[in-house]
Structure 1
Amino acid sequence: MSTETLGLLRQPKTVLFGPGRRAQLPYLLKPLGATVLVCTDERMAGSAEFAGIRDSLTAHGLDVRVFPRVEPDLPRENVEALLAEVDGGEIDVVLGVGGGSCLDFAKVASIMVRRGGNVADLYGENLVEGPGLPLVTVPTTGGTGAEVTCIAVVYDADRGMKVGVASPYLEPYAAVVDPELTLTCPPGLTAATGADALSHLVESFTGREKHPDPEHLHRHLYAGKNVLTDMYALRGFTLLNSSLERVAQDPSDLAARTDTMLGALSAGMAINTAGTAGAHAIQSPIGALTHTSHGFGVGALLPYVMRFNLPVREAEFAEIGVAFGITDPALSQTARAHAAIERMEEILGALGVPLNLRDLGLEPDQFTYVAEQAMLATRLTANNPRDLSEAAIVEILKRGYADDRTWWEL
């Protein structure tokens, strides 16, 4: 290995994975306090699975308070509504149950309920001044990785965009990852979160190696692609290579759901240190313009962003091909890299993810605006392996709109 080799992971103290493992929640929560604030959305709050979780907590003597109104894309107003309703002095521990927005909400709630203030003051990196309440996360979708990451994304209507709150103080104390909770996930959400997980794997594994010095590691969350995140990413590729298509064919297949959940967890572990990159930067303004889901947006962008990055990451894409089982010794590195990208497109297509930007509703007269907004996401663009510019992003958008999947050369 190089003398500049780095391995770095940030992760919860405890990660418990497996079907039925939500039964452990009372034993995890009770040592943390007597009163639990549970954050979720209306769909989950009305489910039999949620009732089972709540009843198991109360049966163990815990006082359970539920905030059931978390909305998709986490509007800032959700946080303000919680603070208006909850007396922070009465809460000991926060439990997030749901998809990425619910878990992000729980992260922000764990800080705001304890420390107060205005969530807008926390937008950015390392602006949280100290720890919040202990947080336990329970994902109900297989894709966002939010159960193990130390970032929350909030939609701020005043700014007309999503903004991140990124701090090690948002890291959950524990994550309980129970694939049974994904069995009732709607097909569209299953597809979108599956595409999101695949994008996390691609961007963490092919992202930029930063070789940070000690001062950088102290000040910044994202250390870039490294040997430990690569381990998780490669395992995630192998799992999602088979599981996502199986879930699309039979949503009741618990074994496939389990593999998908483990692949998504692996992706979350990877991006928590490596970070995401170009596709995520470009998706945000597209999502705001077209009102399409994050997962479908990054999925539709992947074929074109991967082709843009391929000339400087051919070896990494070829290694992804090996994780996908593309091991014919007669194939050149270039051929393996091409095959890996085409295989990812097959998986996305099987999920029903649109593979061009026209199907998202993006229009050519919006390309310049999207490029300008994407370039503002410097935390993401800095991770992209090939330098991004407004002109490069416009070219990516043109190809994505035209469904032009020819190979991009430097």
Structure 2
Amino acid sequence: MEQPIVTAYDFNAPRQIIAGGGTFGKLPELVIGLKGTHVLIVTDGYLLEQGLVREAISSLSEAGIKSVVFHRISPDPTMDSVLEGLALLRQHSCDAIVALGGGSPIDAAKAISVLATNDGPLTRYAGYHLIPNPGLPLIAVPTTAGTGSEATRVAVITDELRQVKMMLFDNALLPDIAVVDYRLSMTMPPQLTAYVGVDTLTHGLEAYVSKKRNPFSDPIALSCIGLVGQHLLRAYTCPTDEAAREGMAIAACQGGLAFSNSSVCLVHGMSRPLGAVYHLAHGLSNAILLPAVTRFSVAGCEARYATAARTMGVVAPELTDVEAADALVYALEAMNRQLNVPRLRDCVGVSWATFEQSVSKMAADALASGSPQNNPVVPTTTEIEQLYLTCW
């Protein structure tokens, strides 16, 4: 067995992961199991208009559980929205939280959970293992197959004053229960399916090549990579394909488990500043960056990138590691074209003038985040600037 770079490691996951079609119906009994009596449902405006939130409220009510809904969550959850949700939780004396949605509601719910039991401000907990007390009981129910936040000890919250996406990493942020019901993802529009799907792939790939990889995260990362290779394009072109939707829902959860117990790398380090400056969706910015960053990184970990390519099923088995790793880059570029992932310059709200003014700060912020230091090839700020330009 290949010797791990990190010689001491642990594995952290929600205490319970419930997966499969229809498992959303178990929500009331899960809340009761956590001794919840009054639930804050954290979601977003889109899901509030759908039947899913009403279904949650109704099923909880039938079980004698009160609930109140907080839906003012943007695609990049901010400290202000977290504080607004916290105020609602305290106003109604909620003792448990249900996060319903994509990564943004789940991350916001995590932050609300820990601020309910720890003194603010949230900025004091930015970084690694800084939260002293466990949060309120939290059930995460993803409705997208992308971020894997339902299975991670990570939350990313935007500090609008500094134009920085803060990463909080602590076991206190792990949901108590993750409910992975693939049927909830079947209404995702094609482009959201594409962006969050590439986000899932990025989690698996970065976890597998990270300098913090280990024998527990490796097989989960590879399973994630294989499932994306098998199911993403089908889920994109045929949204009603249940097998493809289920495969991507499992891949997303596995990707979260993998990177949360290994780490993300340069793609995520560069993605956060793009989100902070341009308010791009996290999955979109990852998708834009993934091929170029992979091309930059393959020389530092050719064998692993080759294994990832073979696991995805995008290269012939007889290729050497060098050939397979190089072919992976072309496969990622082709996948972006098939999924209609735009270049940075074609995204709404992105202008060359703003890019030119902010690229140096974005590169510095990316490097300061710590994630690029886990990359197979650790970049300089100048190299990060060049990578941003390559993606323009």
Structure 1 length normalisation: TM-score? 0.88
Instruction: Map 1:11-410 to 2 at 5 A.
Output: 11-32=13-34, 33-87=36-90, 90-208=93-211, 224-325=212-313, 328-354=316-342, 356-360=343-347, 361=350, 363=352, 365=356, 366-378=358-370, 380-401=371-392
AA partner of residue 110 (structure 2): K
C-alpha separation in 1, matches of 2:165 and 2:144? 21
- Per-residue CA deviation, residues 33-85 of structure 1 (Å, 9 max, x unaligned), is 21211111121122112222221111111111221222220011111212333
Per-residue deviation at 1:112? 1.6
Q: Residues 391 and 115 of structure 1: is their aligned pair in 2 closer, same or farther, counting only changes over 3 Å?
A: closer
Name the count of aligned residue pairs: 384
CA contact (8 A) 2:83 2:112 kept: no
Give the distance between the partners of 1:370 and 1:182, measured in 2 at CA. Answer: 32
The residue identity in structure 2 corresponding to 1:225 is R
| Structure 1 residues 324-373: Cα deviation after superposition (integer angstroms, max 9, x where no partner) | 2357453222112122232233333222212x443344636343332222
Cα distance change of structure 1 residues 3 and 283 upon mapping to structure 2, 3 Å threshold: closer
Contact 2:315/2:328 (CA < 8 Å) preserved in 1? no
Contact 2:117 2:133 in 1 (8 A): no
Secondary structure in 2 matching 1:27:
helix
- TM-score norm. by structure 2 comes to 0.92
Deviations 1:184-205 (A, max 9, x none): 2233322221121111112111
CA displacement at 1:17 relative to structure 2: 0.7
**Alpha-carbon shift at residue 399 of structure 1 (Å):** 2.9
Structure 2 residue runs of 5 or longer lacking an equivalent are: none
Aligned mates of 1:291, 1:34 — CA distance in 2: 36
Aligned-pair identity in percent equals 32
> Contact 1:244/1:347 (CA < 8 Å) preserved in 2?
no
- Aligned partners of 2:24, 2:275: CA distance in 1, in Å? 33
SS of the residue corresponding to residue 151 of structure 2 reads: coil
Q: Look up the SS of the partner of 1:86 in the other structure.
A: helix
CA distance in 2, matches of 1:330, 1:82: 54
Q: Deviations along 1:175-224, whole A, 9 cap, x unmatched?
A: 0011111112233322221121111112111111xxxxxxxxxxxxxxx1
- Is the Cα–Cα contact under 8 Å of residues 7 and 227 in structure 1 kept in the other structure? no
Mapped contact 1:156–1:162 kept (Cα < 8 A): yes
Q: Helix, strand or coil for the counterpart of 1:322? A: helix
Q: CA RMSD in A?
A: 2.0
Deviation at 1:89, TM superposition (A): 8.0
Gaps of 5+ in 1: 209-223, 402-410
Cα distance in 2 for partners of 1:290, 1:43 equals 21
After TM superposition, the structure 1 stretch with the greater mean CA deviation from structure 2, 252-261 or 87-96, is 87-96
Which residue identity is paired with 1:165? Answer: L
Whether contact under 8 Å (1:139, 1:147) holds in the other structure is: yes
Does the 8 Å contact 1:289/1:362 carry over to 2? no
For residues 92 and 291 of structure 1, the distance between their equivalents in structure 2, rounded to whole angstroms, comes to: 32
Q: Which residue of 2 aligns with 1:216?
A: none
- SS at the partner of 1:138? strand
Kept in 2: contact 1:22–1:178 (CA 8 A): yes
Residues of 2 paired with 1:330 and 1:118: CA distance? 55
Check conservation: 1:155, 1:163, Cα contact below 8 A: yes
* Corresponding residue SS for 2:59: helix
